[in-house]
Chain A
């Protein structure tokens, strides 16, 4: 009996973990990056008894404020083949309205339905029909002109599309919410009532970045087999200089060291760096704190 295409290779996994190489870590921000796509709401419900849905989508991009409006675009795919096929669209994707200068866009029910052929209901979908919910895909493309040329980044957000009212037991998903973020003992979220000195990262030293997630924002959902599951919250850390000891962490209370290493002369000359913290519920819900300025002590 063969399981050659199914059995995981344990040793290969541990090897991969061990061989991280000298590549730059994802937490180091040195080029154009999409850090998050914030959506409201986090599901699309085609419920005839409800008002037509409107989806607001806001990208969080680094570096902030350096983008031109005509270098950003949005598209919508009602049925995607998923990551295995690089989110290829099973039916032709369509463009959403032009984004605002910050890249955000509001997609109305009309915008979404225009992506379907005329006979819709959920028309244009494969004849055999789909099981609700359908994983729809919003795609955001952004470019930035740099000294070395034009950089383009593509990011997607998949949201479930219910072909009718939400099934019993299914509650709307909510994004995770930060309870507190502290850097080097300095509370940066919630924003202090009065200005405080920025956190300081000594060159060669380190500071702890502590992130607490509000437990009330963690949802329970039904998995594909109908079993209730509690969301797994992941926190991604980003910094424009220095290095995080870990790029990401899971759980509601995490502390990760930001190390004052690998500074470039430009970093030291600027004397400051920026930190972002992104929380994800792995179901489309995201929240961002940042940029937070951190002073570099020589």
Chain B
């Protein structure tokens, strides 16, 4: 029976019951004849079966039949009394002949044949309910194709909800509807709403991806860490923020230097100067393990490309006991795992370098990613070298770096990540004629590289105990030489291990302990001018110092920390770190205490005090060229801060700080002529104080930015000299930056910096060294002058075209758009009687194009 026939059957049944039977006799029974007591009663109705596609003249047709119902209840004869025509009449007769009745009966109960008139109404069947349309879809972020999980999806039509679903971890969902047209709606957080009209055929099964634009973008945050704040001031920049930060060219470490507490590094130096500390006093980590070399040549690009960057944690001082061997501050670069879903990639080409990246999931909990970047500034550099510079490049400055990451997540409680990353910088130049000093000539060759193999394993041993472990095997090489006489060659093999256990005993008490060990094997060979003084002099006038040795250094350490929270709003973090420095054979014990108090819903007070020590630099403590019995350098750091939420999206953080330095390693000038005296002493002291201010503004999805101002003074006393400003003492450091989303993929950002010039030592006169033919400067009081104030405006414009499967970004990041000539130093003539300003970067536009899919 076809569907249509069945429909007719049902219609027939409904109507047949209403038809009145009548006696089979044509005439009323004569007197004395038995009369009919009960008429036949239909027991089973058989529907009229019409051929498929029968056209009804009207919604309902009626066929009046005459049926002779026998004593058995069967229809003995059937005829049409009043018909509609074929095929309705025939169908009605055929159906009627199969009717079964309860026979009519006389009063005596005897069954008798009876003729009845049966009115069969055949109604045109209603259209059949169509088969459902099944839509299997995926919600993905537009451009990145990241799945949007846990999103409610609704199919609706004419105000009625037809179906509901929720996306799974891969962003997949399925709805089944019985209409051919409906609206699919979803509203994932931080993304465009989905309102899509979907049309399909009944019974059709379709798969379709829906791409939703991310609204949050980089404007979300300068996040102040996690609720468990273990530092007085810790700022976190996300990868998205870094990518569009004006003036930073998308570089991670450049971006972090816009935060309060970071001084501006001089042109090309790439120095890290945190909270008034010397560059060598701060350390940069990658997932807790130190990066051997921060920047490529020129200080514009850091050695770890931002492709796999998740965030950067910036702590200019009072950092936790996890970190040591540094008396300044720290930066920890956090790495993201490669995407386990699908395959993604990125290619970035700009005027400075070119980078490619690929990543994807391998199944079984594994995901894999790799990135490679190479500069091509060497292509342009030859063109800008003046013809009279007497300099030619055999190998112009070039660099590459790479990162390979494999992550295994067998279950939510474990993660193993393997990383292999490295960097190489190379330049070979020929100084055809000495420019100013007879020893500065010949081939200048510099090769700086490192390769690290790092494994991180994170495991939740129980619901309250977690273990983090990392292991690094590294090789660092530095081969530099100038002419036949000056060289510095270093081959450093490094094995470092760090593990920590975090035990959450209760909301009131948490414990944390760990070990942090490093072992170095260093081949060192050098022959250099012995420039053991605060100010530079011509190298040809200096005695040379040379050595070749292999040393093994090991720095084991252990640390422990408690988190005591007597009230949910108040917590104390006392901790201690114990280090052993094998080069000077000394212990260092660093107690530290941090406090955090949530005074109210909008106010947080923070404070910290602690001791921070670090070993001398290897050349300072080396047996032949240094002083092996030095003490560790140390600083006492005190800071206190308030974090105030002024309005939704607007916070103000103010952090005063003070640092007292002692045991600072300084060269001993007397050792220049008296070999019995130590080359270095621990007589240096210093003090640093200031206040850091950070006003952050996040206005919806459109604008975010901050104003960072640091007032800071940093002084050193290197006996017998009196107290002097530190080389990078920058009393005023103001950075204002912001990025505005214009819409339609356009965004514009700007950064303005106004920073005190660095201290400088004036040259009062000069002395002609007739043996070498050069003039030796006679300096005035160290750092008694100051270079000109630095200011620069940087602007970045991004345009993003978002397609279903990929995004195309065109960007122009222009540093110093006003081409302001900022003084970086003085350039003196041969006898120091004349000088002119040595200025830094002129306007530097970096135009680039990036595609990611």
A266 on interface, CB distance cutoff 8 Å: no
Q: Which residues, 608 to 631 on B, are CB-close (under 8 Å) to A?
A: 614, 617-620
**Stretch binding the partner chain, chosen from B43-51, B99-107, B411-419, B825-833:** B825-833
**Stretch binding the partner chain, chosen from A5-13, A44-52, A95-103, A185-193:** A5-13
User: Which single member of B298, B425, B542, B770 contacts A155 (CB below 8 Å)?
Assistant: B770
Question: Is the Cβ of B553 less than 8 Å from the Cβ of A15?
Answer: no
**Stretch binding the partner chain, chosen from B82-90, B144-152, B432-440, B497-505:** B432-440
- Complex contacts, B389 vs chain A, CB 8 Å: 17-18, 20
A23-54 CB contact bits vs B (8 Å, 1 = yes)?
Answer: 11110000001101100000000000000000
A93 on interface, CB distance cutoff 8 Å: no
Question: Is the Cβ of B386 less than 8 Å from the Cβ of A86?
Answer: no
Q: Which of B391, B435, B531, B773 has the most CB of A within 10 A?
A: B773
Question: Is the Cβ of B673 less than 8 Å from the Cβ of A80?
Answer: yes
Q: Which residues, 493 to 514 on B, are CB-close (under 8 Å) to A?
A: 494
Shortest C-beta distance, B844 to chain A (Å), equals 14
Question: Is the Cβ of B768 less than 8 Å from the Cβ of A282?
Answer: no
A234 on interface, CB distance cutoff 8 Å: yes
Given contacts A20-B435, A83-B541, contact A4 B280 (CB under 8 A): yes
B52 on interface, CB distance cutoff 8 Å: no
User: Which single member of B492, B771, B827 contacts A21 (CB below 8 Å)?
Assistant: B827
Q: Which residues, 79 to 96 on A, are CB-close (under 8 Å) to B?
A: 79-87, 90
- Complex contacts, A26 vs chain B, CB 8 Å: 436, 829-831
Given contacts A23-B829, A82-B542, A83-B537, contact A157 B280 (CB under 8 A): no
B515-539 CB contact bits vs A (8 Å, 1 = yes)?
Answer: 0001010100000000111000110
Given contacts A15-B268, A23-B834, A280-B772, contact A81 B673 (CB under 8 A): yes
- Complex contacts, A22 vs chain B, CB 8 Å: 836
Question: Is the Cβ of A19 less than 8 Å from the Cβ of B838?
Answer: yes
**Stretch binding the partner chain, chosen from A107-115, A210-218, A246-254, A290-298:** A246-254
A278 on interface, CB distance cutoff 8 Å: yes
User: Which single member of A9, A135, A278 contacts B269 (CB below 8 Å)?
Assistant: A9
User: Which single member of B538, B546, B773 contacts A224 (CB below 8 Å)?
Assistant: B546
Q: How many residues of B contact A (CB 8 A)?
A: 89
B367-402 CB contact bits vs A (8 Å, 1 = yes)?
Answer: 000000000000000001110111100000100000
- Complex contacts, A79 vs chain B, CB 8 Å: 673
- Inter-chain CA distance A239–B838, complex, in Å, is 27
Number of cross-chain contacts by CB at 8 Å: 218
B570 on interface, CB distance cutoff 8 Å: no
B540-554 CB contact bits vs A (8 Å, 1 = yes)?
Answer: 111110100000010
Shortest C-beta distance, A245 to chain B (Å), equals 8
- Complex contacts, A280 vs chain B, CB 8 Å: 438, 770-773
**Stretch binding the partner chain, chosen from B191-199, B249-257, B465-473, B674-682:** B674-682
Question: Is the Cβ of B768 less than 8 Å from the Cβ of A154?
Answer: yes
Given contacts A85-B533, A85-B669, A85-B672, contact A6 B488 (CB under 8 A): yes
Question: Is the Cβ of B771 less than 8 Å from the Cβ of A284?
Answer: yes
A130 on interface, CB distance cutoff 8 Å: yes
Question: Is the Cβ of A5 less than 8 Å from the Cβ of B617?
Answer: yes
Question: Is the Cβ of A9 less than 8 Å from the Cβ of B673?
Answer: no
A268-298 CB contact bits vs B (8 Å, 1 = yes)?
Answer: 0000000000101011101000000000000
Question: Is the Cβ of B438 less than 8 Å from the Cβ of A34?
Answer: no
A119 on interface, CB distance cutoff 8 Å: no
- Inter-chain CA distance A280–B773, complex, in Å, is 8
- Complex contacts, A153 vs chain B, CB 8 Å: 768
Question: Is the Cβ of B771 less than 8 Å from the Cβ of A282?
Answer: yes
- Inter-chain CA distance A77–B537, complex, in Å, is 20
Given contacts A6-B617, A11-B268, A19-B827, contact A154 B767 (CB under 8 A): yes
Question: Is the Cβ of A81 less than 8 Å from the Cβ of B669?
Answer: yes
Question: Is the Cβ of A36 less than 8 Å from the Cβ of B770?
Answer: yes
Given contacts A4-B278, A20-B389, contact A86 B673 (CB under 8 A): no
Q: Which residues, 752 to 769 on B, are CB-close (under 8 Å) to A?
A: 765-769
User: Which single member of B386, B444, B617 contacts A2 (CB below 8 Å)?
Assistant: B617
Given contacts A3-B619, A4-B278, A86-B776, contact A18 B385 (CB under 8 A): yes
- Complex contacts, B831 vs chain A, CB 8 Å: 26
Question: Is the Cβ of B391 less than 8 Å from the Cβ of A23?
Answer: no
Shortest C-beta distance, B251 to chain A (Å), equals 16
A1 on interface, CB distance cutoff 8 Å: yes
User: Which single member of B388, B532, B618 contacts A84 (CB below 8 Å)?
Assistant: B532
- Complex contacts, A25 vs chain B, CB 8 Å: 830
B315-336 CB contact bits vs A (8 Å, 1 = yes)?
Answer: 0000000000000000000000
- Complex contacts, B565 vs chain A, CB 8 Å: none
A232 on interface, CB distance cutoff 8 Å: yes
Question: Is the Cβ of B773 less than 8 Å from the Cβ of A249?
Answer: no
- Complex contacts, B269 vs chain A, CB 8 Å: 9, 12
A208 on interface, CB distance cutoff 8 Å: no
- Inter-chain CA distance A14–B546, complex, in Å, is 24
Q: How many residues of A contact B (CB 8 A)?
A: 71
- Complex contacts, B200 vs chain A, CB 8 Å: none
- Inter-chain CA distance A12–B840, complex, in Å, is 11
Who on chain A is nearest to B616 by CB? A2
B343 on interface, CB distance cutoff 8 Å: no
A126 on interface, CB distance cutoff 8 Å: yes
Who on chain B is nearest to A42 by CB? B771
Who on chain A is nearest to B553 by CB? A1
B643 on interface, CB distance cutoff 8 Å: no
- Complex contacts, A4 vs chain B, CB 8 Å: 271, 278-280, 617
User: Which single member of A7, A245, A249, A278 contacts B488 (CB below 8 Å)?
Assistant: A7
Question: Is the Cβ of B434 less than 8 Å from the Cβ of A234?
Answer: yes
B38 on interface, CB distance cutoff 8 Å: no
User: Which single member of B386, B429, B478 contacts A20 (CB below 8 Å)?
Assistant: B386
- Inter-chain CA distance A282–B773, complex, in Å, is 8
Who on chain B is nearest to A246 by CB? B433
- Inter-chain CA distance A156–B775, complex, in Å, is 10
Shortest C-beta distance, B2 to chain A (Å), equals 86
Q: Which of A19, A83, A130, A284 has the most CB of B within 10 A?
A: A83
A240 on interface, CB distance cutoff 8 Å: no
Shortest C-beta distance, A95 to chain B (Å), equals 17
- Inter-chain CA distance A85–B435, complex, in Å, is 23
- Inter-chain CA distance A76–B134, complex, in Å, is 102
User: Which single member of A10, A223, A248, A278 contacts B480 (CB below 8 Å)?
Assistant: A10
Who on chain A is nearest to B266 by CB? A12
User: Which single member of B298, B537, B540, B827 contacts A282 (CB below 8 Å)?
Assistant: B540
B779 on interface, CB distance cutoff 8 Å: yes
A147-176 CB contact bits vs B (8 Å, 1 = yes)?
Answer: 000000111111000000000000000000
- Complex contacts, B292 vs chain A, CB 8 Å: 1
B162 on interface, CB distance cutoff 8 Å: no
Given contacts A12-B269, A248-B773, contact A234 B438 (CB under 8 A): yes
Who on chain B is nearest to A14 by CB? B429
A129 on interface, CB distance cutoff 8 Å: yes
User: Which single member of A7, A13, A234 contacts B444 (CB below 8 Å)?
Assistant: A13
- Complex contacts, B492 vs chain A, CB 8 Å: 1
- Complex contacts, A225 vs chain B, CB 8 Å: 546
- Inter-chain CA distance A86–B531, complex, in Å, is 13
15 A-B pairs in the complex with CB atoms less than 8 angstroms apart:
A1-B492, A2-B280, A3-B280, A4-B280, A6-B619, A7-B480, A10-B444, A21-B827, A23-B834, A36-B770, A81-B670, A128-B674, A130-B674, A225-B546, A282-B439
Q: Give me the 3 closest cross-chain CB pairs, A-B, nearest first.
A: A4-B280, A128-B676, A26-B830
* Further pairs besides A79-B673, A85-B672: 13, Cβ < 8 Å: A10-B397, A20-B435, A36-B770, A83-B538, A83-B541, A83-B542, A84-B532, A84-B672, A85-B533, A90-B673, A130-B673, A131-B675, A234-B773
Taking beta carbons and an 8 Å cutoff, which residues of B are in contact with A?
267-269, 271, 278-280, 292, 297-299, 384-386, 388-391, 397, 425, 427, 429, 431, 433-436, 438-439, 441, 444, 446, 448, 478, 480, 488, 490, 492, 494, 518, 520, 522, 531-533, 537-538, 540-544, 546, 553, 614, 617-620, 669-670, 672-677, 765-773, 776-779, 827-831, 834-836, 838
